[in-house]
Amino acid sequence: MKDSGKISSFLKTGEVYFPPEDIVKNLRINEEVYEEGKRIEEFWGKISEELVWFRKWDRVLEWNPPYSKWFVNGKLNASYNCLDRHLDARGNKTALIWEGEPGDRVTYTYGELYREVCRFSNVLKDLGIKKGDRITLYLPMIPQLPVAMLACARIGAIHSVVFAGFSPRALRERINDAESRILITADGGFRRGRIIPLKENADEALEDAPSIEHVIVVERTGKRWNRYERDLTWDEVIEKQDTECEAEIMDSEDELFILYTSGTTGKPKGVVHRTGGYMVGVHITAKWIFDLRDDDIYWCTADIGWITGHSYIVYGPLSNGATVVMYEGAPDHPARDRFWEIIERYGVTVFYTAPTAIRSFMKWGDEWVKKHDLSILRILGTVGEPINPRAWEWYHRVVGGERCPIMDTWWQTETGMILISPLPFTPLKPGSATKPFPGIEADVLDEDGNPCKPGEGGYLVIKTPWPAMLKTLFRDDERYIKTYWERFPGVYLTGDAAKKDEDGYFWILGRSDDVINVSGHRIGTMEVESALVSHPAVAEAAVVGKAHEIKGQAIVSFIILKEGFDPDENLKELLKAHVRAEIGGIAVPDEIYFVSSLPKTRSGKIMRRILRAIESGKEIGDTSTLEDEKSVKEILGKK
Ligand code: WT7
């Protein structure tokens, strides 16, 4: 049963894929970890010993729902745990292999990365940045991004990374909410051969962002940019800096970063993560789920602008001393085999990507993959949305050569770390994220808060605290409580719908709230609606998600125009451009329908459920609370 004399294939029985014995027996963990995970404090306490602490904690957990304190009075530094601790054993080991979209390449050893981070930490200190100050990072996928994050962490500044695809207005909103003192950006970044004008966007954002004192610009593209008094360039400020900077002693509860994510209202939520719990959580999940070892070359294709990049490009893999691949651009530039070329060139052994990417690869055809020797791959991962079994099977067969376990990892910006996922020894069912990580207690509840029966869909919840859980929402405890803890008191509400099967395997069904998942990016329907109604032609807008072959979900909008505007194609294009300017490309509606009314309840709430049903061709269901049937008839008429 040997495949090319290396590792044997998975054994398939019914719908279950059993990992081959030679994978299972070589792992450093086995089923026992689940037993150990049942005693939460003991379990996480023991795991915390894998990090370097300046002072050991007094207590693992203090839980006053919905507030938790992890590793109480413990002192550590995240940057120290990603860099300094490796210098003796791995100083000359490659930490980062970076490739730009145009093909430029740079690598950093742990020693080099350490010195670069120290230098930039000194830059921030020279600018008067102190522990607790916020710094916004609006950068392409270039090495300066992790360097700046680790420099913030080193001196105790709180970073807020804003995805480079966001618009000036979205950037401004996030800067102002965090009251950041410094913005770090670049003159541009490459995407599909084009340059994203980040500095121009930043300048527009800063027209009304009074907290920003300085902008540090990485010169990436060689193009000219407008320089203002507040602007400094990365190279000029870093040049003369010392390559040593002592890591600040941080309390375990001190904030490490803020990351904004979409919710059910128009305003993004500033998810706050803190040092100790987060680091423990991402360290151990990276280590166990991806079985990270010293000779692994690990590549996660996410953008660092999202939580996946924070936890599984930067903090998790680096705290494990792994070699991390980072790529700037698109998967189909210059050709559709760019990812496979990268895997082959660097000998990537662990590869973590998203279902939407996998579905594109599938559509582009096996030949792009087959052009390259991927036999060195040993573990695959997926994240961001439910993976359909067909895409799973393709990934397993074509990319993984039927020998790599697929880790379907369920988690969120708020959870900080992966919470539901197989471990490499877990028997797999395509489309299921399988079981909660050791130490995590997840469940599916019905409307009344009772556990659902196997096979029954309900609310996915987490019943006990976990170390990387969000601390709160930035300066908004009230929203923190309301969003996550009110529906079922003392229980964390994920916002996802799920079911459990007879074997206790979890199947994520999608969001149960007004959030759409487009290509693994979370977009609030209200966010898009408010962008649309901010256009002078729009009186009212309703936005829903609809199944999409590649993106998972597409954005569909129904719009009532103001008097005097013509419902034509030209206006549709203008509205799309408007949303792009308001939020960014990821939020642009795929479809726009002009209607004269929207289905609403008698109290005036838009019934998105009805729009969703129409879009998916399902039964419309109970319409007794509907104010007027007219709108439904009109919309059905347009289909
Ligand atoms: C939402 C969180 C966590 C990193 C990427 C997105 C969906 C995430 C899975 C998965 C099914 C998934 C959920 C979740 N999701 N991973 N493996 N299977 N759904 O982070 O932007 O915070 O979005 O993504 O709906 O709630 P995020």
Residue 523, domain CATH: 3.30.300.30
Q: Is residue 112 part of a domain?
A: yes
Q: Is residue 91 part of a domain?
A: yes
Structure tokens at 222: 């060689």
Q: Which atom of ligand 1 is nearest to the CA of 521?
A: 21
Q: What is the mean pLDDT of residues 212-233?
A: 97
**448-507: pLDDT as tens digits:** 999 999 999 999 999 999 999 999 999 999 999 999 999 999 999 999 999 999 999 999
Q: Which helix (H) or strand (E) holds 269?
A: strand 269-274
Q: What is the pLDDT of residue 620?
A: 82
CA distance linking residue 468 with residue 274, whole number of Å: 8
Is 563 buried (19+), middle (13-18) or exposed (0-12) by CB count in 10 A? exposed
Identify the band that residue 602 occupies on the pLDDT scale cut at 50, 70 and 90. Answer: confident
Q: What percent of the chain has pLDDT over 90?
A: 90
Strand-pair partners of 258: 160, 272
Q: What is the mean pLDDT of residues 245-251?
A: 98
Identify the band that residue 359 occupies on the pLDDT scale cut at 50, 70 and 90. Answer: very high
Look at residues 207, 239, 82, 219 and name the one whose alpha carbon lies nearest to residue 140: 219
Q: Are 523 and 482 within one domain?
A: no
Q: How far is the CA of 303 from the centre of ligand 1 (A)?
A: 14
CA dihedral 136, 140, 144, 146 (to 10 degrees): 70
CA distance linking residue 149 with residue 117, whole number of Å: 9
Residue finishing a domain among 497, 527, 544? 497
Q: Which atom of ligand 1 is nearest to the CA of 511?
A: 25
Q: How far is the CA of 495 from the centre of ligand 1 (A)?
A: 10
Look at residues 106, 534, 186 and name the one whose alpha carbon lies nearest to residue 346: 106
Handedness of CA 101, 106, 111, 117 (dihedral sign): negative
Q: Is residue 562 part of a domain?
A: yes
Structure tokens at 408: 């379907």
Written as one letter, the residue type at 434 is T
Pocket mutation for ligand 1, best pick of 310, 383, 505 (most atoms within 8 Å of C-beta): 383
Helices assigned H by DSSP within 70-159: 78-82, 87-90, 110-126, 144-155
Q: How far is the CA of 505 from the centre of ligand 1 (A)?
A: 17
CA 25 to chain CA centroid, nearest Å: 32
Kindly report the protein residue whose alpha carbon is nearest to atom 19 of ligand 1. 385
Q: What is the pLDDT of residue 326?
A: 98
Q: Are 58 and 170 within one domain?
A: yes
Q: Are 482 and 531 within one domain?
A: no
CA distances in angstroms from 489 to 264, 406, 448, listed in the order given? 19, 34, 12
Dihedral-angle region of residue 433 (phi above 0 means left; psi in -120 to 50 means alpha; beta otherwise) = alpha
Pocket mutation for ligand 1, best pick of 385, 437, 492, 521 (most atoms within 8 Å of C-beta): 385
Q: How far is the CA of 207 from the centre of ligand 1 (A)?
A: 34
Q: How far is the CA of 633 from the centre of ligand 1 (A)?
A: 34
Strand-pair partners of 443: 461
Q: Are 540 and 614 within one domain?
A: yes
Kindly report the protein residue whose alpha carbon is nearest to atom 8 of ligand 1. 384
CA 224 to chain CA centroid, nearest Å: 32
Of residues 522 and 626, more confidently modeled: 522
Whether residue 229 has pLDDT greater than 70: yes
Cis peptide before 451 (omega within 30 of 0): no
Q: What is the mean pLDDT of residues 235-245?
A: 97
Whether residue 214 has pLDDT greater than 60: yes
Look at residues 259, 255, 279, 283 and name the one whose alpha carbon lies nearest to residue 412: 259
Structure tokens at 253: 């509860």
Q: What is the pLDDT of residue 270?
A: 98
Helices assigned H by DSSP within 486-535: 525-533
CA distance linking residue 560 with residue 550, whole number of Å: 29
CA distances in angstroms from 94 to 244, 310, 351, listed in the order given? 20, 19, 17
Q: What percent of the chain has pLDDT over 70?
A: 99
Residue 262, domain CATH: 3.40.50.12780
198 DSSP 8-state letter: H
Q: Which helix (H) or strand (E) holds 311?
A: none
Q: How far is the CA of 185 from the centre of ligand 1 (A)?
A: 27
- What is the SS3 string spanning 197-226? CHHHHHHHHHHHCCCCCEEEEECCCCCCCC
**12-56: pLDDT as tens digits:** 999 999 999 999 999 999 999 999 999 999 999 999 999 999 999
Kindly report the protein residue whose alpha carbon is nearest to atom 3 of ligand 1. 412
Q: What is the mean pLDDT of residues 58-66?
A: 98
Look at residues 37, 3, 131, 31 and name the one whose alpha carbon lies nearest to residue 79: 131
Q: How far is the CA of 491 from the centre of ligand 1 (A)?
A: 19
CB 322 within 8 A of CB 179: no
Q: What is the mean pLDDT of residues 511-516?
A: 90
Residue owning tokens 């902008």: 215
Q: What is the pLDDT of residue 624?
A: 79
Identify the band that residue 187 occupies on the pLDDT scale cut at 50, 70 and 90. Answer: very high
Cis peptide before 334 (omega within 30 of 0): yes
H helix count then E strand count, the chain: 22, 34
Is 540 buried (19+), middle (13-18) or exposed (0-12) by CB count in 10 A? middle
Residue owning tokens 């940019």: 225
Dihedral-angle region of residue 103 (phi above 0 means left; psi in -120 to 50 means alpha; beta otherwise) = left
Residue owning tokens 């008839």: 633
Q: Could you tell me which residues come within 8 angstroms of residue 502 by beta carbon, excluding any fewer than 6 positions away?
A: 454, 455
Q: Are 219 and 250 within one domain?
A: yes
CA distance linking residue 274 with residue 252, whole number of Å: 7
Is 92 buried (19+), middle (13-18) or exposed (0-12) by CB count in 10 A? exposed
Kindly report the protein residue whose alpha carbon is nearest to atom 24 of ligand 1. 384
Look at residues 377, 317, 312 and name the one whose alpha carbon lies nearest to residue 346: 377
Say whether pTM exceeds 0.75: yes
Helices assigned H by DSSP within 224-383: 234-238, 275-289, 307-309, 316-319, 338-346, 355-364, 366-370
**Whole domain around residue 558: which residue ranges?**
519-638
Is 609 buried (19+), middle (13-18) or exposed (0-12) by CB count in 10 A? middle
CB 324 within 8 A of CB 97: yes
Q: Are 590 and 523 within one domain?
A: yes
Q: How far is the CA of 412 from the centre of ligand 1 (A)?
A: 5
Structure tokens at 396: 């397993």
Q: Is residue 9 part of a domain?
A: no
Pocket mutation for ligand 1, best pick of 269, 308, 496, 586 (most atoms within 8 Å of C-beta): 496
CA atoms within 13 Å, Cβ hemisphere of 373: 5
Strand-pair partners of 261: 269
Q: Which atom of ligand 1 is nearest to the CA of 410?
A: 17
Dihedral-angle region of residue 148 (phi above 0 means left; psi in -120 to 50 means alpha; beta otherwise) = alpha
Helices assigned H by DSSP within 219-354: 234-238, 275-289, 307-309, 316-319, 338-346
Q: Is residue 12 part of a domain?
A: no
Q: Which atom of ligand 1 is nearest to the CA of 494?
A: 26
Q: What is the mean pLDDT of residues 517-531?
A: 92
Q: Are 464 and 526 within one domain?
A: no
Q: Are 485 and 397 within one domain?
A: yes
Helices assigned H by DSSP within 144-302: 144-155, 168-178, 198-205, 234-238, 275-289
Q: How far is the CA of 497 from the centre of ligand 1 (A)?
A: 11
Cβ atoms < 10 Å from Cβ of 55: 12
Residue owning tokens 């309390």: 251
Q: Which atom of ligand 1 is nearest to the CA of 409?
A: 17
Binding-site residues, ligand 1, Cβ < 6 A: 261, 306-308, 383-386, 408-413, 433, 494-496, 508, 511, 517, 520, 522
Q: How far is the CA of 432 from the centre of ligand 1 (A)?
A: 13
Q: Is residue 341 part of a domain?
A: yes
Q: How far is the CA of 456 from the centre of ligand 1 (A)?
A: 20
Q: What is the pLDDT of residue 638?
A: 80
Q: How far is the CA of 233 from the centre of ligand 1 (A)?
A: 36
CA distance linking residue 383 with residue 604, whole number of Å: 37
Q: Are 489 and 600 within one domain?
A: no
562 DSSP 8-state letter: P
Q: Which atom of ligand 1 is nearest to the CA of 262?
A: 21
Q: What is the pLDDT of residue 2?
A: 36
Q: What is the mean pLDDT of residues 309-338?
A: 98
Q: Are 491 and 624 within one domain?
A: no
CA 363 to chain CA centroid, nearest Å: 24
Q: What is the pLDDT of residue 4?
A: 46
Pocket mutation for ligand 1, best pick of 272, 359, 412, 469 (most atoms within 8 Å of C-beta): 412
Domain count, the chain: 2
Q: Are strands 94-99 and 323-327 parallel, antiparallel or unpaired?
A: parallel
Q: Which atom of ligand 1 is nearest to the CA of 418?
A: 3
User: Residue 71, SS3?
Assistant: strand
Pocket mutation for ligand 1, best pick of 257, 273, 411 (most atoms within 8 Å of C-beta): 411
CA distance linking residue 291 with residue 421, whole number of Å: 13
Whether residue 636 has pLDDT greater than 90: no
Q: Are strands 158-161 and 134-138 parallel, antiparallel or unpaired?
A: parallel
Whether residue 3 has pLDDT greater than 60: no
Q: Is residue 513 part of a domain?
A: no
Pocket mutation for ligand 1, best pick of 264, 392, 517, 521 (most atoms within 8 Å of C-beta): 517
Whether residue 92 has pLDDT greater than 70: yes
Identify the band that residue 259 occupies on the pLDDT scale cut at 50, 70 and 90. Answer: very high
Q: Is residue 50 part of a domain?
A: yes
Q: Are 100 and 243 within one domain?
A: yes
Q: Are 419 and 321 within one domain?
A: yes
